[in-house]
Structure 1
Amino acid sequence: MRILAMVAMVLALVSCTNQKSPTGRGQMLMYSQAEMRELGAQSFAQIKQQEKASTDRAINAYVRCVADAVTDPALLATIDPTQQETWEVVVFESDQVNAFALPGGHIGVYTGLLNVAKTPDQLATVLGHEVAHVLADHGNEQVSRAQMTNAGLEIVQIALGASGTENQDLIMAGLGLGAQVGIALPFGRQQESEADVVGLELMAKAGFDPAASVELWRNMARASGGAPPELLSTHPSHGTRIEDLQNLQGKAGQWYQQARAEGRAPGCRVPR
Structure 2
Amino acid sequence: MRKIASLFVALLLLAGCSSVPLTGRKQVLLVSDQEVLTSSLTQYNDYMKTAPLSTDAKKSAMVTRVGQKIAAATEAYLKANGLEAELKNFAWEFKLVKDTQVNAFCMPGGKIVVYEGLLPLTATEDELAVVVGHEVAHAVAKHSNERMSQQLMAQYGAAILGAAVSNRSAAVQQLATTVYGVGAQYGVMLPFSRKHEYEADYMGLIFMTMAGYQPDVAVGFWQKMSAGNQGSVPEFMSTHPCDASRIAEIQKNLPEIKAKFKK
Shorter-chain TM-score tier: 0.7 to 0.9
Superposed counterparts of 1:150-229, under 5 Å: 150=155, 159-161=168-170, 168-173=176-181, 177=182, 180=185, 184-225=189-230, 227-229=232-234
Aligned to 1:237: 242
**SS in structure 2 opposite 1:30?**
coil
Q: Distance in 1 between matches of 2:188 and 2:155?
A: 15
Aligned to 1:17: 16
Q: Distance in 1 between matches of 2:116 and 2:166?
A: 35
Aligned to 1:262: none
Q: Distance in 1 between matches of 2:137 and 2:223?
A: 21
When residues 187 and 146 of structure 1 are mapped into structure 2, their CA distance, relative to the original with a 3 A threshold, is same
State the Cα distance separating 1:227 from its structure 2 match: 4.3
Q: Distance in 2 between matches of 1:50 and 1:94?
A: 12
Q: Deviations over 1:59-95 (max 9, x none)?
A: 1111111101110032454575313533112111001
Is the aligned partner of 1:83 residue 2:87? yes
Q: Is the 8 A contact 1:53 1:92 kept in 2?
A: yes
When residues 50 and 78 of structure 1 are mapped into structure 2, their CA distance, relative to the original with a 3 A threshold, is farther
Aligned to 2:3: none
Question: RMSD of the TM alignment (CA)?
Answer: 3.1
**SS in structure 2 opposite 1:224?**
coil
Amino acid of the structure 1 residue aligned with 2:219? V
Q: Distance in 2 between matches of 1:59 and 1:127?
A: 14
Task: Detail structure 1 runs of 4+ shifted over 3 Å in the superposition.
Answer: 13-16, 75-81, 155-158, 160-164, 181-184
TM-score (norm 2): 0.81
State the Cα distance separating 1:151 from its structure 2 match: 8.9
Amino acid of the structure 2 residue aligned with 1:42? T
Q: Is the 8 A contact 1:208 1:256 kept in 2?
A: no
Q: Which blocks of at least 5 consecutive residues in structure 2 are unaligned?
A: 1-7
Q: Which blocks of at least 5 consecutive residues in structure 1 are unaligned?
A: 1-9, 259-272
Aligned to 1:126: 131
State the Cα distance separating 1:184 from its structure 2 match: 4.4
State the Cα distance separating 1:179 from its structure 2 match: 8.2
Q: Is the 8 A contact 1:221 1:228 kept in 2?
A: no
Q: Is the 8 A contact 1:101 1:107 kept in 2?
A: yes
Q: Deviations over 1:2-28 (max 9, x none)?
A: xxxxxxxx99x9476011122122211
State the Cα distance separating 1:57 from its structure 2 match: 1.4
TM-score (norm 1): 0.79
Q: Distance in 2 between matches of 1:241 and 1:161?
A: 37
Question: Percent identity, aligned pairs only?
Answer: 35
**SS in structure 2 opposite 1:100?**
strand
